[in-house]
Structure 1
Amino acid sequence: MGLNTELAPADVVRRQYLASAAGDLEALRATLAPDVEWTEMAGFPLAGTYRTPEGVTANVMEKLATEWESWVAHDDTYVVDGENVVVLARYTAHNRGTRKPLDVRVAHHFVVRGGLIVRFEQFVDTALVRDAAT
């Protein structure tokens, strides 16, 4: 029994947001299951499904940091049903190329088992993200 198995699903998800906001990719990877499936929505600049904690941070968080300044996912409302955690949030950032700001609402669906995130799916208005990037 690892330390994470003591945490409620919403607490595991909250740790992921805190690690992301702090830029602590090691702590973020510690919230993800070895076989995690992390899906960025079709139409989003990083669209696709990524596997393994290292694959998620390399293909999502590290790329966001190169393309966007001060990217933050502000989690504000949690809806929990067993292992399912839906978070209503907001992305804020500035695109490094265009200097345009981004401020968009987003919903994230996490599945947490054994104290680790096993699945993630993003829902966002991809047109607003694209507009800020072009």
Structure 2
Amino acid sequence: MSEHTLAAVVRRQYLAAAAGDLEALRATLAPDVEWTEMAGFPLAGTYRTPEDVTANVMEKLTQDWEDWTAHDDSYVVDGENVVVLARYTAVNRATGKLLNVRVAHHFVVRGGLIVRFEQFVDTALVRAAMAD
């Protein structure tokens, strides 16, 4: 697959997440996806099916945060690896505090589907937005 095609698969995932279209988001993920939220992040762990990802990450983010958005700013493609430099913005529902933090996401794309995801984020800033 071309670099443009690999990046387009990942971009579809961001667009689906932003639109709250969980079915379209699941369609970008391999049936045996390995989706890892960073240790220290409120949803830390590895999720292994598209349904697991949407139920334990996407749906929970919208429960705890208002207007959760991952703004995908720039893409670097190397082989099947797609690294996205991004920013999370949201307002925590419990505290009313704004979150605005830089992140990096590493995706592996094979056969037109995301087979692996790993998140890198300053978890202290996320936790601070959640603290009273």
Counterpart position of 2:24: 27
Counterpart position of 2:106: 109
Task: Give the structure-2-normalised TM-score.
Answer: 0.96
Per-residue deviation, 1:82: 1.2
* Runs of 4+ in structure 1 over 2 Å off: none
- Could you tell me the percent identity over the aligned residues? 83
1:9 alignment partner, one of 6, 9, 13: 6
| Count of residue correspondences | 130
Q: Distance in 1 between matches of 2:32 and 2:63?
A: 26
Per-residue deviation, 1:62: 0.2
Secondary structure in structure 2 of the residue aligned to 1:33: strand
Counterpart position of 1:85: 82
**Aligned residue type for 2:103:** V
Q: Distance in 2 between matches of 1:113 and 1:42?
A: 25
Task: Give the structure-1-normalised TM-score.
Answer: 0.95
Q: Distance in 2 between matches of 1:102 and 1:127?
A: 11
Per-residue deviation, 1:114: 0.1
Q: In angstroms, what is the RMSD of aligned CA positions? A: 1.2
Secondary structure in structure 2 of the residue aligned to 1:121: strand
Counterpart position of 1:68: 65
Counterpart position of 2:96: 99
**Aligned residue type for 1:82:** G
Q: Distance in 2 between matches of 1:32 and 1:16?
A: 8
Secondary structure in structure 2 of the residue aligned to 1:8: helix
- Where structure 2 has 5 or more consecutive residues not aligned to the other structure, the ranges are none
- Where structure 1 has 5 or more consecutive residues not aligned to the other structure, the ranges are none
